[in-house]
Amino acid sequence: MNTLEKPYVVGIDIGGQTTKMGIVDMRGQVLAQTVIRTDTHDDVNLYIDDLSAALEKIISESDSDEKIRGIGVGAPNANYYTGNIESAVNIVWGGNRTIPFAKLLSEKAGGLPVALTNDANAAAVGEMTYGAARGMKNFIMITLGTGVGSGIVINGEVVYGHDGFAGELGHTCAVRHNGRLCNCGKTGCLETYASAIGVARTAREWLEMSDEPSSLRSLDNISSKDVYDAAKEGDKFALKIFEFTGKILGQSFADFVAFSAPEAIVLFGGLARAKEYLYQPIMDSMNANLLPLWRDKIKIVFSQLKESDAAILGASALAWEL
């Protein structure tokens, strides 16, 4: 069958905790979607069993049998060139090994062709096509989720580098002295401060070091959502955490601007929901650290797409080329 006879593709967005997938048509409409846990198994084969079962269900429910052209996947440490997921330390079944993910999923999905790329690169493609970066040729996508991902677009093209792994901005050094240990083995990575896990870590560390009153003190296992909820209630301690997080992001963004001179930096992911508490600290910190020629010229914008849609749509776009 040609493309017209197979009018749908699948987009899959793999995060550290959850995996979102959808059936997408040529107009970019997500016809059906579902979510499964990424972190249920530490064996990738068992995860792919869960993934393919969920996929079969939404294909059947959307009457898409025999109409799927291919599958596009956005995942941490995914290599666009090889189809492998390599050293994905934020995924329980990832670890320090190379997984031939495209091959494994294709075999489980009845031979459907599979292409994959970094999850942040997929989000960048989706945002450029359908969202806040529509019409932009030069921007940086930052995903603030379990980790910190990034997709760099220059002259309308995603930057992959010679090995497929260009743009790991979450693992640039944000704190050089006594920085936090990152899952990647380095210390001081931006991800350890500006991810959802990093925000929760800041809260726990600060609570231990101070006696400042906060509603967070009554919680056992603090999450970034808890910090956000406290900030919404006016908790000064929680607001200080977001100010600190925004300051670190802004400092790093100033370095990123010096590399590619983007029109904008687009923020996407769960932590980006806290935009009312992050935006001003980011802007103030970024402009304070930019060279004068870029000061007050770089926009910080937040995703305009429903959560997960950017990554699903971006990943699905890969499948049209299969």
pLDDT along the chain (322 residues), means of 10: 74 92 90 95 96 95 91 92 91 94 96 91 86 94 91 94 91 95 94 97 96 94 96 97 98 97 94 94 98 97 81 87 80
In terms of C-beta density within 10 A (0-12 exposed, 13-18 middle, 19 or more buried), how is residue 10 classed? buried
In terms of C-beta density within 10 A (0-12 exposed, 13-18 middle, 19 or more buried), how is residue 163 classed? exposed
Domains of the chain: 8-124 (3.30.420.40), 134-302 (3.30.420.40)
pLDDT at 308: 64
122: left (phi over 0), alpha (psi -120 to 50) or beta: alpha
CA–CA dist 271, 299 (Å, integer): 18
Instruction: Residue 252: name the closest of 307, 201, 300 by CA.
Output: 300
pLDDT at 263: 98
pLDDT at 203: 97
Segments in 138-274 forming alpha helices (H) = 191-194, 196-209, 224-232, 236-260
pLDDT at 1: 46
Q: Are 21 and 51 in contact (CB under 8 A)?
A: yes
pLDDT at 50: 97
pLDDT at 89: 84
CA–CA dist 191, 172 (Å, integer): 8
pLDDT at 4: 59
CA–CA dist 147, 163 (Å, integer): 21
